[in-house]
Amino acid sequence: MVACAALDVAREPEILLRILWITAFAWMAFALPAAAKEVALDVGHSIATQGALSARGVPEFEYNLALAGEARAALERAGLGVRVIGAAGDTQDLASRPRLAKGADLFISIHHDSIKERLLQVWQPNGEPQRHNDSVSGFSLFVSRENPRFASSLACASAIGRALRAAGFVPSRYHADPVLGESREFADEPNGVHFFDRLAVLRHAAMPALLFEAGVIVNRVEELRMREPGVKRAIADALVQGVRECLN
């Protein structure tokens, strides 16, 4: 018994050290913040396929790139990780865009809207013929039921739509119009969210995914608004609010 007692006393420093190590590791696990959520921002279109031309002849890709930069800055200020896809303008394969987002918690493809060719009218800003239609305006959001995380995609799109509306932006009804638009069904009408099931960047994404049309750049007034720094900041801030709501 005396020998056993002596052995226990001899091992006390070792036991205490183990307890200290276990306590330290437990404290570190508690104190370390959770890994930041990451958002993949996809800059719609490319240099080769520049998307719609605005009422003043500016390619949509330029608007998408500018807004993606503003959104990136706002998301990073909010403590979120950001991965920008397509900023160099050389990503043309639509299916490759969500693959480049692998591991992100949310995929957002950023675009600016147009209208059917037959509805555009000719005008000549600065003496150059361009096309416009001032009857359509507002933002739109799209989700795919073929995305494996459809429910989360819809939740995020709806949260962003609500945040945009709270900031004073108005959803467009153009895409749902059976005559002027595409008869595209609403997934969440009040918040401007539509179904777009076969859209490649959405259905090929492994994570929740949505496409965001920020405004209609063939509308001469809305095009100028989309250029304003304050408007871009307000859109980016609404994106952050919606993203934080749906990822928390």
Express each pLDDT in 124-138 by its tens digit. Answer: 998 999 999 999 999
Structure tokens at 93: 């394969």
- Spell out the alpha helix ranges (H) of 42-83: 60-77
Q: E strands along the chain, which residues?
A: 38-43, 81-85, 106-113, 121-123, 130-132, 140-143, 186-188, 193-195, 209-216
Residue 111 has pLDDT above 70, yes or no: yes
- Is residue 19 situated within a structural domain? no
Q: Range of 157's domain?
A: 37-247
Q: Would residue 192 be called left, alpha or beta, if left means φ above 0 and alpha means ψ between -120 and 50 degrees?
A: left
9 domain-assigned: no
In a domain, 87, yes or no: yes
Look at residue 76 and tell me if it is in a domain: yes
Q: What percent of the chain has pLDDT over 70?
A: 86
Q: Is residue 22 part of a domain?
A: no
What's the pTM?
0.86
Tell me, yes or no, whether 191 lies in a domain: yes
Domain count, the chain: 1
The CA distances from residue 183 to 51, 52, 131, 232, in Å, are 21, 20, 23, 29
Residues 225-235, mean pLDDT to the nearest whole number? 98
Residues 97-108 have pLDDT tens digits of 999 999 999 999
Q: Is the pLDDT of residue 231 over 70?
A: yes
Identify whether 238 is part of a domain.
yes
Query: 48 CB contacts (<8 Å, ≥6 apart)?
Result: 89, 90, 92
CATH code, domain carrying 194: 3.40.630.40
Q: What is the predicted pLDDT for the residue at 187? A: 98
Q: What residues form DSSP beta bridges with 216?
A: 113
Assigned domain for 23 exists: no
The two three-digit tokens of residue 111, written as one number: 């675009």
